């Protein structure tokens, strides 16, 4: 019997010492952590310099071609070229998601305007109400083929008007990128309802004279229909970069910008082509401490649908959205909380030891009394 009582006594003492041991031990290194704060757009982590700042800028090939000065850039986004765009972009440049499934890439864009391309006006009407705060421009890629609705191909002007109405409802701009056939047959009729007109010349970009014969007279027709229209040509990142620069320089008097169609396989060509247009922006503007200004819900000064009136160009600079950072937690405050916890554990341990001592004394007294009566 006495062995059982001794074992019980040892277990009680061990249990009472646990809170005291926990209170006396120093906190582990991982027990006090400040919650991670969300970095401001444009800010890089001190421990991991950004790819654009460390690699691209250091290996930049040289000064841009002066013949191409003043052209804004409209670049299709991919994971491999977001840093390239952020390195050179200004407020008037455009980061483009060529499909709505790639819209999350635009969250990584730090400066400029954001464009999302839709193949069909019906898709835009369905999705823009939910995505309007992620874009500044609706892109409408009206082409002949199975990926575009037949009813929209049958009524190209009416389809553009649908996109115009949608854009005005959410205070957005419209960029139209039709195929060559639609550009020639309905370009002038569609121009009053859009803000930007992208001429697709990528299939003929190695034939400068063919491109010139297509672009120059068509741009004149488009500007007669809408004098405030912005015009660009779309080229892909393939072939001789110097030849592409010469092509753009030849067309420069007719253009406001250049649309660049990138691909994961041609990132080096994209870097070389962008270097012909821009130098790295060494100092990014300090983001303002508020979100992107709310887009006006009032109809912008665009083409009146009843009468083809030239659209007014809207060139307001887009301010990069700033996400508020989480409140930083200082280490001294966390240390105070840990100290309070240790004090509580110490008090609990002392109370537990007091109970055990009282129980031990009571056990000794009862045991002695039983032995005394047994005699």
CB 303 within 8 A of CB 192: yes
What is the C-alpha separation between 9 and 357, in angstroms, rounded? 10
Comparing CA positions, the residue from 78, 186, 82 lying closest to residue 140 is 186
Highest mean pLDDT among 12-16, 166-170, 276-280, 326-330: 166-170
* 58-62, 73-77, 133-137, 160-164: least confidently modelled range: 58-62
Average pLDDT, integer, range 185-203: 98
Q: Bigger pLDDT: 208 or 2?
A: 208
**Shared-domain flag, residues 268 and 201:** yes
What is the C-alpha separation between 176 and 124, in angstroms, rounded? 13
pLDDT tens digits, 4-51:
455 555 655 555 554 444 444 444 433 333 333 333 333 333 333 344
315 within domain boundaries: no
Comparing CA positions, the residue from 186, 237, 216, 242 lying closest to residue 80 is 237
Q: Does residue 227 have a pLDDT over 70?
A: yes
**Shared-domain flag, residues 132 and 20:** no
- Which positions ≥6 away from 94 have C-beta within 8 Å? 72, 73, 74, 75, 112, 113, 114, 115, 137, 175, 257
What is the reported pLDDT for 366? Answer: 79
What is the reported pLDDT for 334? Answer: 41
- Which positions ≥6 away from 174 have C-beta within 8 Å? 137, 138, 140, 160, 163, 164, 167, 193, 194, 195, 196, 302
Q: What is the CATH number of the domain that holds 161?
A: 3.20.20.70
Average pLDDT, integer, range 78-106: 95
**Shared-domain flag, residues 19 and 79:** no
Average pLDDT, integer, range 172-179: 98
Question: What is the DSSP code string of 154-195?
Answer: H-HHHHHHHHHHHHHHHT-EEEE---HHHHHHHHHHHGGG-S
pLDDT tens digits, 333-371:
444 455 566 677 777 778 777 778 777 777 777 777 777
DSSP bridge pairs for 198: 232
Identify the domain containing residue 80 by its residue range. Answer: 62-277
pLDDT tens digits, 255-302:
999 999 999 999 999 999 999 999 888 654 444 444 444 444 444 444
3-state secondary structure of 241: helix
Would you state the structure tokens that stand for residue 235, as one six-digit string? 């080229």
CB count, 10 Å around CB of 78? 18
**Shared-domain flag, residues 205 and 73:** yes
What is the reported pLDDT for 59? Answer: 67
What is the reported pLDDT for 54? Answer: 56
What is the C-alpha separation between 235 and 65, in angstroms, rounded? 17
DSSP bridge pairs for 199: 233
363 within domain boundaries: yes
**Shared-domain flag, residues 243 and 352:** no
**Shared-domain flag, residues 21 and 66:** no
243 within domain boundaries: yes
**Shared-domain flag, residues 100 and 178:** yes
Q: Does residue 103 have a pLDDT over 60?
A: yes
* 18-32, 86-100, 206-220: least confidently modelled range: 18-32
* 192-196, 208-212, 293-297: least confidently modelled range: 293-297
What is the reported pLDDT for 271? Answer: 94
pTM: 0.64
């Amino acid at each position: 019997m006495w062995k059982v009582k001794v074992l019980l006594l040892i277990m009680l003492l061990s249990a009472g010492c646990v809170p005291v041991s926990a209170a006396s031990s120093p906190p582990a290194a991982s027990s006090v952590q400040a919650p991670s704060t969300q970095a401001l757009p444009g800010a890089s982590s001190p421990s991991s310099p950004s790819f654009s700042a460390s690699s691209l800028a250091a290996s930049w090939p040289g000064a841009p071609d002066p013949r191409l000065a003043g052209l804004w850039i409209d670049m299709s986004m991919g994971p491999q070229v977001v840093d390239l765009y952020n390195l050179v972009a200004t407020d008037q440049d455009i980061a483009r998601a060529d499909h709505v499934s790639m819209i999350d890439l635009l969250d990584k864009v730090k400066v400029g305007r954001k464009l999302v391309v839709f193949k069909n006006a019906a898709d835009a009407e369905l999705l823009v109400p939910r995505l309007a705060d992620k874009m500044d421009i609706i892109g409408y890629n009206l082409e002949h083929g199975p990926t575009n609705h037949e009813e929209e191909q049958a009524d190209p002007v009416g389809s553009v008007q649908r996109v115009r109405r949608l854009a005005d409802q959410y205070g957005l701009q419209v960029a139209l990128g039709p195929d060559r056939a639609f550009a020639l047959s309905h370009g002038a009729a569609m121009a009053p309802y859009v803000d930007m007109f992208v001429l697709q010349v990528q299939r003929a970009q190695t034939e400068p004279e063919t491109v010139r014969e297509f672009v120059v007279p068509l741009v004149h027709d488009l500007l007669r229909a809408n004098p405030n229209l912005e015009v660009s040509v779309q080229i892909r990142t393939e072939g001789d970069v110097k030849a592409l620069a010469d092509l753009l320089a030849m067309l420069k008097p007719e253009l406001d910008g250049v649309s660049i169609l990138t691909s994961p396989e041609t990132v080096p060509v994209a870097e070389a082509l962008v270097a012909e247009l821009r130098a790295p922006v060494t100092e990014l503007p300090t983001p303002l401490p508020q979100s992107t200004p709310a887009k006006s819900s009032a109809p912008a000064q665009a083409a009146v649908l009843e009468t083809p009136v030239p659209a007014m160009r809207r060139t307001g600079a887009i301010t990069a959205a700033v996400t508020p950072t989480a409140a930083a937690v200082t280490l001294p405050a966390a240390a105070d909380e840990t100290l309070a916890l240790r004090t509580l554990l110490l008090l609990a341990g002392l109370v537990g030891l007091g109970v055990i001592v009282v129980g031990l004394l009571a056990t000794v007294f009862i045991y002695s009394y039983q032995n005394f009566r047994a005699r």
